[in-house]
Structure 1
Amino acid sequence: MHEKLTKSFSINGKSKSTLNNYSRCLAHLALHYNKSPEHLDKEAIDDYLFHCKNQHNTPSDSFFKHTIYGLRAIYKLLGMDGHKVQLPEIKRQNDLPVVMSLEEVKRLINAPKYLKHRLMIATLYGCGLRSYELCALKLSDVDFDRNTVFVKKQKGKQDRFVPLSKHLARGLQKYIRTEKPVIYLFNSQVTDNGKPLPITVRAIQWVIKENRSKIGTSKKITAHILRHSYATHLLESGLNLLALKDLLGHARIETTLIYLHVSNSGSSKKYSPLDLIYNT
């Protein structure tokens, strides 16, 4: 089953992180009953979903959602769309997004002890990257002559170029001279055969979590909130939605509208909001 799901995700351009989330949740379900999920009846599925919602050690909406989405994926893959087990609908959260102020972003960037960690946060925000996009970023993707960063298409998104802040460029050049990363802009370790590995999403989460308590805010800052703050700060300073759509790598303008809940106005000139913080 896992092999079929892996092939399907690869063919359809879906992300490895989504595959891992679905596979992990489906594996929990299979271990719970010692039976492959597609062979379970409605009562068994309902009992397990109740267990997920109420008995999980750390109740997690994402775990519950990934279990349902994973079941839908295997039902579709096996031609079981008309399966007698009816899965519950997942309601979208309509909570207002958390946005950091420019001063909070600046304090977070300056909080880490190590230059590498400061630049990881600055690159996430200054280029509006998703966590996995920062992980995949290679040295060759950064063009210091044109002050651009090339973000490769992943998860069905669009290839795009984003502006590289002059302030961030200076920091990255210093980091590259001193740390001498290989292949990836931010390496984690080197394997026994000498192959460099990129940082992981978990490592990014750790860096942010370790430093957000230092900046005097109650906001639960994540990489996603940095990206959302990037988008919001650009809109507030005059960038229009069509230009922002390209910077975020959205395929459809509707995604940008839903993501930001802000009106379309301003200039079409693209730039990095990191320069607003450091006024360069």
Structure 2
Amino acid sequence: MNWKAKIVLYKKVPRIAIYFEKNATLIARIKSFEDARWSASNKYWHLPDTEANRLHFKLPLAHTLVPTEEGIASIETFKKYLLSKRYSPKTIATYSDALKSFLTFYNTKIIKDITNEDVIIFNNDFILKNKFSSSYQNQIVNAIKLYFKIVKDTAIEIDKIHRPKREKVLPNVLSKEEIKLIINSPTNLKHKTMLSLIYSCGLRCGELLALQPHHIDSKRNIVLLKNSKGKKDRIVPLSPKILELLRDYYKVYKPKIYLFEGLNAGQPYDARSLQQVLKQALQKTGIKKPVTLHWLRHSYATHLLESGTDLRYIQELLGHNSSKTTEIYTHVSTKSIQQIKSPFDDL
């Protein structure tokens, strides 16, 4: 088979990267693997770092790769618990993978004998040693805490499991001029409408793709977001300009179930295809920044703040549980900073 495979860190998480010349047959085969993704920036397909995938691509197996039988059974029990609590499929997958990483590290130990000291050792000898991010470490902590809450016979003291100190990373924000360039660059009406709606309503990618025509309330000028992150409904205001754009779009495409559908009628537009839409728009504009769809949401929040919108309203519009999450936009708003005069000007 004319491809090459190796273990890489993708967004600080171990994955199996697959390199090959562009070939429709090979692409179709890669897509058949669970959670196969294309990285446009790295120019490779990547898959979960599992024993089965390592075996398939003839990669060496790590001695800590597989949990014990007890560990495997525990992970399945944990998945069922999360499912019964109605966690989203994405959260279930994230927490299960995180717990697997922890239990595979201790595949020589009975679970009831795992202690808080073992968690510290894991953080040092696995997380820090492999230079994984604090957000990945936090996912592990969330999984461990949640898992050991449902385990009766344990040496772990849940309240004493410490979290990593959060990295203070500021959100990436584009200027209004850059936003205008991006949303006006697509010649395709559907592409233009999708990018415009994400920015104008501060939507997450998944929220946009889950929209159905009846979620657009033209009488009240609002968009209803159903079952968003955290299983919460919320409403956001609908710009009259966006409403006009949506009407033009609807006349042309006549979506059946989802507001934005892909090649197959009744199926939502593909998230990876939407990322490609943004990439093509950036190429046309000449903007060299590594812009993602989430930058449009960050820009929406920051521009609202700069125009004088109260932070509490922005919190509601974005669907944040905590005001602390929304407060980060005060650190990237340039309205007040631009009014500060540099002492250099007085020299």
Q: Which residue of 2 aligns with 1:216?
A: 286
Query: Partners in 2 of 1:36 and 1:136 — Cα distance?
Result: 43
Higher normalized contact order (CA 8 Å, seq sep 6+, divided by chain length): 1
**For the structure 1 residues 189 and 7, does the alpha-carbon distance in structure 2 shift closer, same or farther, using more than 3 Å as the test?**
farther
Alpha-carbon contact 1:131-1:223 (below 8 Å) kept: yes
**For the structure 1 residues 186 and 27, does the alpha-carbon distance in structure 2 shift closer, same or farther, using more than 3 Å as the test?**
farther
Amino acid of the residue matched to residue 94 of structure 2?
N
* Pairwise CA RMSD: 3.6
Deviation at 1:37, TM superposition (A): 9.7
Q: Which residue of 2 aligns with 1:276?
A: none
Tell whether 2:344 aligns with 1:249.
no
Tell whether 2:177 aligns with 1:103.
yes
Tell whether 2:136 aligns with 1:136.
no
Which is worse superposed, 20-29 or 169-178?
20-29
Query: Partners in 1 of 2:103 and 2:283 — Cα distance?
Result: 39
Q: Which residue of 2 aligns with 1:19?
A: 92
**For the structure 1 residues 135 and 260, does the alpha-carbon distance in structure 2 shift closer, same or farther, using more than 3 Å as the test?**
farther
Query: Partners in 2 of 1:37 and 1:207 — Cα distance?
Result: 49
Pick aligned residue for 2:303 from 191, 216, 233: 233
Tell whether 2:148 aligns with 1:75.
yes
Amino acid of the residue matched to residue 66 of structure 1?
Q
Query: Partners in 1 of 2:83 and 2:251 — Cα distance?
Result: 36
Pick aligned residue for 2:166 from 77, 80, 92: 92
**For the structure 1 residues 27 and 105, does the alpha-carbon distance in structure 2 shift closer, same or farther, using more than 3 Å as the test?**
same
Amino acid of the residue matched to residue 219 of structure 1?
K
Query: Partners in 2 of 1:231 and 1:165 — Cα distance?
Result: 15
Superposed, 1:50-69 pairs within 5 Å as 50-55=125-130, 62-69=135-142
Deviation at 1:132, TM superposition (A): 1.9
Amino acid of the residue matched to residue 71 of structure 1?
I
Compute the TM-score of the two structures, normalised by the length of structure 1. 0.73
Q: Which residue of 1 aligns with 2:341?
A: none
Larger radius of gyration: 2
Query: Partners in 2 of 1:140 and 1:109 — Cα distance?
Result: 24
Which is worse superposed, 254-263 or 108-117?
254-263
Amino acid of the residue matched to residue 303 of structure 2?
H
Pick aligned residue for 1:186 from 237, 246, 260: 260
Tell whether 2:248 aligns with 1:174.
yes
Q: Which runs of 5+ in 2 are unaligned?
A: 1-73, 334-347
Query: Partners in 2 of 1:208 and 1:221 — Cα distance?
Result: 8
Amino acid of the residue matched to residue 104 of structure 1?
E
Q: What do the CA deviations read for 1:29-82 (whole angstroms, capped 9, x no partner)?
A: 6667778995784688645874454448xx555544433432332222324785
Q: Aligned with 1:152: secondary structure? A: strand
Matched residue count: 257
Higher strand fraction: Structure 1 or Structure 2? 2
Q: Which runs of 5+ in 1 are unaligned?
A: 264-280
